[in-house]
Amino acid sequence: MARAGWGSLFGCFGSSSHGSKSKRSSRKKKKKSKQPKVAAAAGGSGSGSGKPRSLQSRLSFTELSGMVSPEDLSLSLVGSNLHVFSIAELRAVTRDFSMTNFIGEGGFGPVYKGYVDDKTKPGLRAQPVAVKLLDLEGGQGHTEWLTEVIFLGQLRHPHLAKLIGYCYEEEHRLLVYEFMTRGSLEKHLFKKYAASLPWSTRLKIAIGAAKGLAFLHEAEKPVIYRDFKTSNILLDSDYKAKLSDFGLAKDGPEDDETHVSTRVMGTQGYAAPEYIMTGHLTAKSDVYGFGVVLLELLTGRRSVDKSRPPREQSLVEWARPYLTDARRLDRVMDPNLAGQYSARAAQKAAAVAHQCVSLNPKSRPHMSAVVDALEPLLALDDCPVGPFVYVAPPEDNSNNDKGSSGRRGRRKSSDGAAAAVVRPE
C-alpha cells in the first residue's frame, strides 16, 4: 500500500503510553485559578467556547480503558449515537479500500473516503465519510484507537470532528468520521500549489480551533488534547475548523491535582517546553500549541523548518522578538497575504500568540480568554484597499485590419473589453 509519508508528523517524542491512574481518594474540590488576561483582548462577553452538551456525566478514559470486548465497549457507550460497523460494511462503503478512495495517511494509518446511507445502517443519514484504518504495523495501536472512540464517542461540539461510528472486529480497528471537504489546515498553509488563505479566513480558523480547545478544557471532566497542530485541524466547505485525531488526548487533572504525569508525546515544534522537560501535562500545554499554530497562520511558516537558516528554523524563537513590536511585525507576516490584512488585528493577534507561547505556563491565558480576544478582530476593517480594475469599453476595430497587434500593454477581460489594472499608491 502506498504511504503518504506523514508518519513524521505524529509521535515525534516517543511511542504512546496511556498508563492507568490509581483510584483517587476523596479530596477537597480544587479552587479555580485566576485567569490571566490576554493583552490583546478587545471586548466580547462570555467565554465564547460554547457548551452545547454538558460533560458532567462523561465516562473517563480510565473508567473504560480496561475493557477489551466489543460488547463491553458498545454497552458503555449506549446513548452516544455511535454506529458499530462490520468490516464487511466498511469494505463496501470504501470499495474495498480502493486506492481511488485513498485520502491520506497519518500515524494511525491510512484514511479512505466512503459513502454511507440508511442501506448501510438503518437510520444513518446519507453522507460522505472518512474511514480511518488502524495500521497494525504503524506507530499507534489499540490504545489510541480506544482513546478516540471513548472521547469523541461522548464529546459533541461544533468545532470537534464528529465520530459517526467504529469497527471493532477481530484484529480490525477502524473509525468512521464525517468527511471534511477541504482537508487539513496544514494542506492550505504549506502545500506548494495551494491558494493562499485570506486574512479573514485565517482568523476564522483560529477562532474556531480556539473554541474547540476551550470546550475541552472547561468540561466538568477536563480533556487535554495534547497534539494540537495544523494537520489535526480539519476544514469543512466553509472553512469551519474542527479538531480531529484524539488518539493522544488525556483526561485532565481533577480535584487538587495540578497536572497529569505522562510520557512525553506530541509533535516537535508544538509541544510546550515544560512538558518536554518534566512530562507534566496541563491545559496550558495545549495553549502553547495553539500559540504555535496561530504563529503559523500569521507568518505562513512551519513550526520547525530545517531548510531555513539556523536562527529561523524554530518559528517561535525567530518570531518572538517581533510579536510585541508594531513597527517590526510586518517583517514576520506571511508575504502571501500581500499586505491585505488589518494592521490592528494582526498586532492584537500577534500579542495573543506571544502570550500563548510564553515560557512560563502561568503567564499563558486560558483558551476562553483567547476566544474573547480574537473574535472582535474579525470586525476590524482597516485592511488596505485592494487593486482597482478599470474596464474600458470595447474598441471598434472595423477600420483596422491589423486588429489589436499594437495593444500589448492591455489584457482582455472576460467580455472582450480591454482592462487596465490600477493599483493604489
List phi, psi (to 5°) of 329: -60, -35
Q: How far apart are CA 231 and CA 241, in angstroms?
A: 11
Task: Determine the Cα–Cα distance for residues 154 and 216; give it in Å rounded to an integer.
Answer: 12
Catalogue the active-site residues: 227
Place of cell 456525566: 57
All cell numbers assigned to 274: 515544560
Cβ neighbours for 322, distance < 8 A, ≥ 6 positions apart: 328, 329, 331, 332, 350
SS (H, E, C) the chain: CCCCCCHHHCCCCCCCCCCCCCCCCCCCCCCCCCCCCCCCCCCCCCCCCCCCCCCCCCCCHHHHCCCCCHHHHHHHCCCCCCEECCHHHHHHHCCCCCHHHEEEECCCCEEEEEEECCCCCCCCCCEEEEEEECCCCCCCCHHHHHHHHHHHCCCCCCCECCEEEEEEECCEEEEEEECCCCCEHHHHHHCCCCCCCCHHHHHHHHHHHHHHHHHHHCCCCCEECCCCCHHHEEECCCCCEEECCCCCCEECCCCCCCCEECCCCCCCCCCCHHHHHHCEECHHHHHHHHHHHHHHHHHCCCCECCCCCHHHCEHHHHHHHHCCCCCCHHHCCCHHHCCCCCHHHHHHHHHHHHHHCCCCHHHCCCHHHHHHHHHHHHHCCCCCCCCEEEECCCCCCCCCCCCCCCCCCCEECCCCCEEEEECCC
Residue 201: which of 228, 176, 223, 182 has the closest Cα? 182
